[in-house]
């Protein structure tokens, strides 16, 4: 996916793989916790008793793309209006669009929690030859969000923190 028309403001969004703050990588927290607790043996076979077995932890962050491909998805943030386009797992089709609103909407703390990496940060992770278990200490999560079908709540720091921005789901414009 190299280009998209924003469903809210109609502007064209271009992305050619160079980090520019448009593309973001999103993991549901349960998938992220699985990723960063996965350890591999000397043959790079995934261990079952994760964390109970001493190293070597050979598994590297630069293979996340292939080994955890179903565990995350991409979103694009429109540089013109801040609207968020959520891609499906194929990375080709937009499955939902949320636009920033000024209203105060109480956070649904029971909704799904996600960690988000900006393309700057994600590129650093995916280029790193380190065990995935070291990612939390070496890289910073760009955003913590809570989301349901109707809203995204962008949190000011961690999952316990206050909301600093609300996005409301809008209908997707026909292509
Ligand atoms: Zn826009």
Low-confidence ranges of the chain (pLDDT < 70): 1, 40-59, 173-175
Mean pLDDT of the chain: 88
What integer pLDDT is reported at residue 38 of this predicted model?
82
User: 62-107, pLDDT tens digit by residue?
Assistant: 888 888 889 999 999 999 999 999 999 888 899 999 999 999 999 9
What integer pLDDT is reported at residue 115 of this predicted model?
98
Residue appearing with tokens 């964390």: 51
Distance 55 CA to ligand 1 centre (A): 47
Supply the pTM of this predicted model.
Answer: 0.88
* Element housing 64 (H / E): helix 64-67
Sign of the dihedral through C-alpha 147, 22, 66, 133: negative
What integer pLDDT is reported at residue 55 of this predicted model?
52
Distance in angstroms (rounded) separating the CA atoms of residues 40 and 44: 5
The total number of structural domains that make up the chain: 1
Residue 11 lies in a domain: no
Residue 111 lies in a domain: yes
Residue 92 lies in a domain: yes
The answer to whether the CB of 92 falls within 8 A of the CB of 19 is no
Residue 129 lies in a domain: yes
Residue 62 lies in a domain: yes
What integer pLDDT is reported at residue 8 of this predicted model?
95
Residue 50 lies in a domain: yes
How many CB atoms are closer than 10 A to CB 166?
18
Distance 6 CA to ligand 1 centre (A): 5
Measured between its terminal Cα atoms, the distance across the chain in Å is 14
Distance 167 CA to ligand 1 centre (A): 13
Torsion (CA) 1, 4, 139, 128 in degrees, nearest 10: 20
- Domain assignment of residue 58, given as a range: 20-170
What integer pLDDT is reported at residue 48 of this predicted model?
57
Distance 101 CA to ligand 1 centre (A): 13
Residue 1 lies in a domain: no
**Bridge partners for 147 per DSSP:** 112, 152
- Residue 50's alpha-carbon distances to 64, 72, 97, 151, in angstroms, are 17, 21, 37, 35
Residue 6 lies in a domain: no
- Residues that place a CB less than 5 A from ion ligand 1: 6, 8-9, 78, 80-81, 83
The answer to whether the CB of 46 falls within 8 A of the CB of 57 is no
Distance 104 CA to ligand 1 centre (A): 21
């Amino acid at each position: 996916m190299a280009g998209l028309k924003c469903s809210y403001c109609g502007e064209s969004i271009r992305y050619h793989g160079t980090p520019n703050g448009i593309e973001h990588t999103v993991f549901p927290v349960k998938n992220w916790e699985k990723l960063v607790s996965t350890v591999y043996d000397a043959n790079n076979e995934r261990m079952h008793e994760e964390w109970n077995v001493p190293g070597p932890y050979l598994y590297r962050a630069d293979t996340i793309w292939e080994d955890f491909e179903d565990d995350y998805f991409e979103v694009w943030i429109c540089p013109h209006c801040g609207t968020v386009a959520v891609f499906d797992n194929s990375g080709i089709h937009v499955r939902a669009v949320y636009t920033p609103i000024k209203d105060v909407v109480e956070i649904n703390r029971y909704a799904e929690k996600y960690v988000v990496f900006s393309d700057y940060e994600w590129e650093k992770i995916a280029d790193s030859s380190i065990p995935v278990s070291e990612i939390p200490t070496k890289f910073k999560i760009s955003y913590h969000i809570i989301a349901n079908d109707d809203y995204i709540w962008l949190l000011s720091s961690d999952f316990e923190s206050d909301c600093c921005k609300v996005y409301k789901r809008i209908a997707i414009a026909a292509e």
